[in-house]
Structure 1
Amino acid sequence: MSFWYVLLVLLVGVERLAELVVARRNARWSLARGGRTFGAGHYPWMVALHTGLLAGCLLETGLLDRPFTPALGWPMLALVVAAQGLRWWCITALGPQWNTKVIVVPGLPLVTRGPYRLRWLRHPNYVAVAVEGAALPLVHGAWITALTFTTLNAALMVVRIRCEERALTLGEPT
């Protein structure tokens, strides 16, 4: 496992911590405006899955001596960078309404700017999560981590998206 790959995974971890800082600030904003929290039961599983992704990247590449294969690694690195760009575009577009938890402020309209203006792509942040979850491990050949994360994330996203859709319906003014 290369120093550069460890650094990449650590930088993604730092990015996740930055997300949590933004999420906490945004949660305070939303709750101060009457926001309601939904789906707290799946949130710890989401945290565990994302933590497991980072740990799995390092463990699989280190313990199983996964090589860096340029033909796969460089395109996957480009996808990791693109996923980060899409994620922060989503965070910026949603502004204080973005959160890692499902918090809906009743009466606020759906955001229709940035990637959310694409009506056929209702959850662009989850595209970023899916791409990153597959690409980050594959930068250094950690295919077991990529496959495991992708499978578990797909199941979790079914739960999460249903929760968000229900929350948006319940959170709208009557």
Structure 2
Amino acid sequence: MDRPSILYVVFVAAAVLVALGERVYARRNETRLLRQGAAEVAPWVFRLMAPVYMLLFPAAIAEHLALGRRAPPVLAASMLVLFSAAKGLKLWAVLHLDGLWTMRVILPRRLRVVTGGPYRYVRHPNYVAVIGEILTLPLAGGAWITAAAGGVLFGALLRARVRTEETALLARPEYVSRMAGKNRFIPGGGR
């Protein structure tokens, strides 16, 4: 393996470790919320999204190594910066949601609507971050097929998840009064 490939594999391995840490944190929150009487909405969505997300990592490495894909250095560096920005956005969202952040769609009986941090601008900053991760991680290694296929597949699942989640959230007056006027993913007024 050449040096750029070694660096890319190390980068992806580090991203896997971060993702596993995120899952542990989310699982702890999910368990606590469910014990407190929260309800899970559409569990099938997470059951499909989680494997697609986790398969992205080995698929990107496989495409990079098996097909000899290499991103031009400027593109690779740009994707690393954008991946870091996506992780930063996710961390910002997680810190503001605190113990409410989960990977499954879990709604507490008493909904505490978070409007600070990135939620001041959009309803779903975490999903913006995840799409950023899914596109930039493969592209950093030149794995454009993985980025395209992962983006399309995860995007379709995310669309179903957002619709399901928002149907449940928009049925709650406390959510509507504070979030309905914000866009889902892009800052600005409206929907």
What is the TM-score normalised by the length of structure 2?
A: 0.85
Separation in structure 1 between the aligned mates of residue 100 and residue 41 of structure 2, nearest angstrom: 14
Map 1:1-174 to 2 at 5 A: 2-118=5-121, 121-170=122-171
Query: Does 96-105 or 161-170 show the bigger shift?
Result: 161-170
Separation in structure 2 between the aligned mates of residue 170 and residue 39 of structure 1, nearest angstrom: 15
Separation in structure 2 between the aligned mates of residue 39 and residue 170 of structure 1, nearest angstrom: 15
Residues 10, 172 of structure 1: CA spacing in aligned structure 2 closer, same or farther, 3 A cutoff?
A: farther
Separation in structure 2 between the aligned mates of residue 41 and residue 129 of structure 1, nearest angstrom: 19
Separation in structure 1 between the aligned mates of residue 123 and residue 158 of structure 2, nearest angstrom: 13
Shift of 1:98: 0.6
Asked if structure 2 preserves the Cα contact closer than 8 Å seen for 1:104 and 1:171, the reply is no
Asked if structure 2 preserves the Cα contact closer than 8 Å seen for 1:36 and 1:171, the reply is no
Separation in structure 1 between the aligned mates of residue 105 and residue 35 of structure 2, nearest angstrom: 15
Asked if structure 2 preserves the Cα contact closer than 8 Å seen for 1:107 and 1:172, the reply is no
Aligned to 2:54, the other structure's residue is in SS state: helix
- CA deviations 1:72-94 (Å, max 9, x no partner) are 10000100111111111111110
Unaligned runs of 5+ in 2: 175-191
What is the TM-score normalised by the length of structure 1?
A: 0.93
Report the residue type matching 1:99 in the other structure: T
Report the residue type matching 1:165 in the other structure: E
* Structure 1 residue ranges, 4+ long, deviating more than 4 angstroms after superposition: 170-173
Report the residue type matching 2:17 in the other structure: V
Unaligned runs of 5+ in 1: none
Separation in structure 2 between the aligned mates of residue 153 and residue 25 of structure 1, nearest angstrom: 24
Q: How many residues align structurally? A: 171
Higher relative contact order, structure no. (Cα contacts within 8 Å, ≥ 6 residues apart) = 1
Q: Percent identity?
A: 39
Please provide the CA RMSD for this pair: 1.5
Separation in structure 2 between the aligned mates of residue 169 and residue 80 of structure 1, nearest angstrom: 31
Aligned to 2:141, the other structure's residue is in SS state: coil
Separation in structure 2 between the aligned mates of residue 151 and residue 106 of structure 1, nearest angstrom: 34
